[in-house]
A and B are shown apart, each in its own frame.
Chain A
Amino acid sequence: MSSTQPPAIQMTEVSKHYRRGDETVQVLDHFTLTVEPEAFVALMAPSGSGKSTLLNLVGGLDRPDSGGIVVAGIDLASLNEAALTRWRARNLGFIFQLYYLIPVLSAARNVELPLLLLPLSREERHRRVEAALTLAGLPPERHRFRPTELSGGQQQRVAIARAIVTDPPLLLCDEPTGDLDRSAGDEILNLLKTLNERLRKTIVMVTHDPHAATFATRRIDLDKGLVGERRPAA
């Protein structure tokens, strides 16, 4: 890590509440977190403790009630909705538990979707899609398969390829192995680890699975907006 590089994520005194019927739920209360560039952070938390909210805030999908969020030197509060959308297109890759692939499009077409927003030729898009799918470990003969023709693990590989195809520096993963068996889950976690180590992607992964957290370089326990930190032994 270069000393001049700003933190990948800097959350300062962030608070966020939701209304659930008449009840007010305070999911984050003066929450502060710094994530260094090229880190692989596992955010461990039980359900309802605000870990998805945290990803949404970092991804600019939601705004905090108070506090500041700076991602790679960009203060998200300074960006309006349109600017945030453009920023996401180039700087973020989201990976979800349920993949969210479009079922009637092939794997390659699904991966191509973020590239349609960039000024690229069809050939260049094709080249990047093939590279991303190959990097994600989907066999070439399956690039034209539809999601329903792929296993859960392969669908998540397609989703990861979609997240990295624009080469964003930051990947936000929301329970990426939550819908997979242990073996497929481990393959996906190894893939994320590879992306972190070889391509130097900063990865923030929320999970409630302690085993998944062992693949990260840093583990943060989040409970009711309170942070406890554990770093794996070197």
Chain B
Amino acid sequence: MKSPLRFSPLVLSALRRHRLRTWLTMLSVLIAFLLFGLLQALNHAFYGGVKSAGRRILVSMSAESLVEPLPRAYATEIAAMKHIDRVAYEVWMGGYYQHHSQILYALAVSPRRWLDEERRFLLLPPRQESAWLKDRSGALVGNLVARTYHWKTGEIVPIRSDIWIHPNGHNTWPVRVDGIFHSTKKALGEGILVHYRYWNDGMGDPNDVSLLRVEVSHLRDLGQVARAIDARFANSPSPTRTSSAQTFIKDFINQTVDIGVIVEDILAAVFFTMLLVTANTLTRSVRERSGEIAVLHTQGYSRPLIFALILAEALVLVLAGALAGTGLAALIVQGLRGALSAYLPYLALTERAILEAVGLALAFAALSSLLPVLQVQRLRTVDALRRA
């Protein structure tokens, strides 16, 4: 009987008074939250992999750069060190299928060690797994890649690489699709795994690797082990730089540009502008209605109730724009995911981002109603009645 919704016609009436102004303000909020949604999705596309990286995993690479290889023998040496459970290695093959535009995410790995590390994230038929383990020129293919290029098990597909050229000059690495897996790690679903030996033989036995993945026994030993590895190879021809897998991915992305900082800066500017626009709309609206607000006061509307009505007005204005903007961003991200899945497998508007959008909307509604509330606080009913 005393539902606050009974005031909804009054709240909506304030927004209907200047429809164009309300629509334009809502549009500015919509654009702000559309940008928020898209930038959060982009942020996740770049940093989504950081969170999924194992917390107990260290990555050792050349201290010079990722392009410089490390000797594979380091794996055996590191495995013999204290507090270490497992060491795996990989070569970043890169590569493409048929055209340069069809980029592949191919890695040459030690199959058993790789499976040991990743099996818990995989859905792979045992027969396909054993077929791959036995087949030196075989490949395991993520379901997303297989679907994109319509590959089936048993097919031979040519991976081409501009990085790794055979000694005889050709750059094609034909592999047989032995298995197609699903993975809970999105990036893996975009991956192709080939035998390290296949790559090593094809390159004329250099016995190099791009990086080493070191699984540490306890999280607390992570820093100590990283320092020990780098110290061990500090005076060798190939010194290492070791960091946690999460830091490694973050640093790798930040080599080109710090997306997180750009996203934060853009959003701060957008939301500050949106706050000014919304606060201005509400302030003008309240000023124009000062006579009516005074009359509501004469009817028994208390100041706290009038504050609540202004806050409700701000909430409707901001939430409607925010929901529309976030919804539109979700639709756009959904549309882009198919086209960009090979490049940005983590592109997604996460539930967390949506909740953040709702939280931001609530906060901005409260902030933008502050000025008008102060206006009402200062409003003297008798003066407002006299002026109107």
Residues of A at the B interface (CB closer than 8 Å) are: 52-53, 56, 59, 61-62, 81-82, 85-86, 88-90, 92, 94, 96, 98, 100, 102-105, 109, 113-114, 116-117, 119-122, 162
A100 to B299, CA, bound (A): 12
Interface: B372 (CB within 8 A): no
Residues of A within 8 A of B386 (CB): 52
Contact indicator B1/A90 (Cβ below 8 Å): no
Question: For A56, A61, A90, which residue has the most chain B Cβ atoms within 10 angstroms?
Answer: A61
Contact indicator A121/B297 (Cβ below 8 Å): no
B6-14, B185-193, B245-253 - interface stretch? B6-14
B80-101: CB near A (< 8 Å → 1, else 0) gives: 0000000000000000000000
Complex interface residues of chain B between 1 and 36 (CB less than 8 A to chain A)? 1-2, 6-7, 9-10, 13, 16-17
Residues of B within 8 A of A162 (CB): 299
> Which are the 5 A-B pairs with shortest beta-carbon distances?
A89-B300, A100-B295, A94-B298, A114-B299, A85-B302
Contact indicator A104/B388 (Cβ below 8 Å): no
Residues of A within 8 A of B303 (CB): 81, 85
Interface: B385 (CB within 8 A): yes
Known: A52-B386, A96-B295, A122-B6. A103 touches B300 (CB 8 A): no
Complex interface residues of chain B between 284 and 299 (CB less than 8 A to chain A)? 291-292, 294-299
A-B contact pairs, 27 of them (CB 8 A): A52-B382, A52-B385, A56-B382, A61-B298, A82-B302, A85-B297, A85-B300, A85-B301, A86-B300, A88-B299, A88-B300, A89-B299, A90-B300, A92-B298, A94-B298, A94-B299, A96-B385, A98-B291, A100-B294, A105-B13, A109-B13, A113-B296, A113-B299, A119-B1, A119-B2, A120-B1, A162-B299
Contact indicator B291/A116 (Cβ below 8 Å): no
Within 8 Å by CB of A105, from B1, B9, B295, B388, lies B9
Question: For A53, A61, A98, A116, which residue has the most chain B Cβ atoms within 10 angstroms?
Answer: A116
Known: A96-B295, A105-B13, A122-B6. A61 touches B381 (CB 8 A): yes
Q: How far is the CB of B379 from chain A (nearest CB, A)?
A: 12
Count class of interface residues, chain B = 20 to 34
Within 8 Å by CB of A116, from B10, B294, B382, B388, lies B10
Known: A86-B300, A113-B299. A104 touches B382 (CB 8 A): no
Residues of A within 8 A of B291 (CB): 98, 100
Q: How far is the CB of A155 from chain B (nearest CB, A)?
A: 13
Residues of B within 8 A of A59 (CB): 298
Besides the contacts A61-B385, A98-B291, A109-B13, what 11 more A-B pairs have beta carbons closer than 8 Å?
Answer: A53-B382, A56-B382, A56-B385, A61-B382, A85-B301, A88-B299, A89-B300, A100-B291, A100-B295, A102-B292, A105-B10
| Nearest CB in chain A to that of B12: its residue | A104
A53 to B6, CA, bound (A): 33
Question: For B16, B302, B388, which residue has the most chain A Cβ atoms within 10 angstroms?
Answer: B302
Contact indicator B10/A113 (Cβ below 8 Å): yes
Residues of A within 8 A of B382 (CB): 52-53, 56, 61-62
Interface majority SS on B: helix, strand, loop or mixed? helix
Contact indicator A116/B6 (Cβ below 8 Å): yes
Known: A61-B298, A89-B299, A94-B299. A100 touches B388 (CB 8 A): yes
| Nearest CB in chain A to that of B295: its residue | A100
Within 8 Å by CB of B1, from A81, A86, A109, A121, lies A121
Q: How far is the CB of A133 from chain B (nearest CB, A)?
A: 16
Q: How far is the CB of A87 from chain B (nearest CB, A)?
A: 8
Q: How far is the CB of A223 from chain B (nearest CB, A)?
A: 20
Q: How far is the CB of B278 from chain A (nearest CB, A)?
A: 20
Residues of B within 8 A of A56 (CB): 381-382, 385
Contact indicator B9/A109 (Cβ below 8 Å): yes
Q: How far is the CB of A201 from chain B (nearest CB, A)?
A: 16
Question: For B2, B6, B16, B386, which residue has the most chain A Cβ atoms within 10 angstroms?
Answer: B6
A96 to B247, CA, bound (A): 70
Residues of A within 8 A of B2 (CB): 119
Q: How far is the CB of A126 from chain B (nearest CB, A)?
A: 12
Question: For A86, A105, A119, which residue has the most chain B Cβ atoms within 10 angstroms?
Answer: A105
A210 to B244, CA, bound (A): 91
Residues of A within 8 A of B388 (CB): 98, 100
Residues of A within 8 A of B298 (CB): 59, 61, 88, 92, 94
Residues of A within 8 A of B299 (CB): 88-89, 94, 113-114, 117, 162
A109 to B305, CA, bound (A): 18
A61 to B295, CA, bound (A): 11
Q: How far is the CB of A80 from chain B (nearest CB, A)?
A: 11
Q: How far is the CB of B382 from chain A (nearest CB, A)?
A: 5
